[in-house]
Amino acid sequence: MDFQDEQNLIENKEEKLLATPMPFILEVKNLTVNFGEENVVDNLSFNLKKGENVAIMGPNGAGKTVLLKALLGLLPYRGEIKWSEDAKISYVPQKILPEKNLPLSVKEFFEMKNIRAEQIKEALVSVGITDENFIKKRIGAVSPGQLQRVLIAWGLTGNPNVLLFDEPTAGIDIGGEETVFNLLNKIEKERNISIILVTHDMSVVYGFADSVLCLNKKLICHGAPSEALGADGLRKLYGEGVNFYKHEH
């Protein structure tokens, strides 16, 4: 092999390396978020693979929602948050409690995001809402479970490949919880979306998440739920005397 052949081979390898997609859709290194002198998220590092679902668990005040907001670029931080170039991110907030008499229809709610009627219909059908008259309902008059479906449909518009959910079952009864997480499973399988999910529900973590990130300002544990959420890990996360019962949907 002469010098020119060697150069061509090196250039071909470099081109292949540059063309190789990033194996992680998200890389977080030494992330710190502080309010005043208090570190709410302290030196946190983790990765998220494409198509992977991670559940974030921790006690109240552990920095879970702060972490999501930092990932969205809504809060200043130190450290590194690196999304892959093809990451298309959507966010479903913890909960919205519109006034029952709010004069805003479901259709008008979507139109605030400049979504056309046909796209609204497709988004609602994707979350199991097939009633064509549903878009005429006032956003404040739908049930908590229906509202959560509307928010998920809203999040799915634009075909994101990353969804961030903050307590998607807050204020919903057990039947509604099961429906929401069955829906998330369906969406993940059909669209191969990466999902970052804040939840307190152990059954969701075991039944839905590929990995769990245990956060109490600092990283307490991270890994497959069956490995990370042993008795020792839960004691470190929530303290002594806390019992958890795993149940299946």
Sheet hosting strand 38-49, strand order edge to edge:
38-49, 24-35, 78-83
- What single-letter amino acid sits at 51? G
Q: pTM for this structure?
A: 0.77
177 belongs to a structural domain: yes
Q: How far apart are CA 34 and CA 11, in angstroms?
A: 44
Burial of 27 (0-12, 13-18, 19+ CB in 10 A): middle
Q: What is the pLDDT of residue 218?
A: 93
**What is the domain-level CATH number for residue 221?**
3.40.50.300
* pLDDT score recorded for residue 97: 62
Q: Report yes or no on 114 lying in a domain.
A: no
pLDDT recorded at residue 68: 94
Query: In the chain, how many domains are there?
Result: 1
Residue 115 falls inside a structural domain: no
pLDDT in tens, 134-176: 999 988 888 877 888 888 888 888 889 999 988 776 655 555 5
Residue 132, in any domain of the structure: no
- For the chain, give the longest Cα–Cα distance: 79
Q: Under DSSP, is residue 81 helix (H, G, I), strand (E, B) or coil?
A: strand
Q: How far, in Å, are 98, 115, 125 from residue 134 at the CA level?
A: 17, 16, 11
Q: Considering the domain boundaries, does residue 99 fall inside one? A: no
Domain assignment of residue 203, given as a range: 21-88+160-238
Provide the pLDDT for residue 25. 94
**pLDDT at site 170:** 61
- Phi and psi dihedrals of 113, rounded to 5? -100, 15
Domain membership flag for residue 218: yes
**Which regions in the chain score pLDDT beneath 50?**
1, 3, 6-7, 9-10, 13-14, 16-20, 245, 247, 249
For residue 142, the model assigns a pLDDT of: 86
Q: Go through the chain and tell me how many residues it has.
A: 249
Is residue 107 domain-resident?
no
**What would the two tokens of residue 234 be?**
């839960």
The predicted structure's pLDDT at residue 247: 43
**Strand bridging mode 24-35 / 38-49:** antiparallel
Close Cβ partners of 140 (under 8 Å, ≥ 6 residues apart): 98, 99, 100, 101, 102, 104
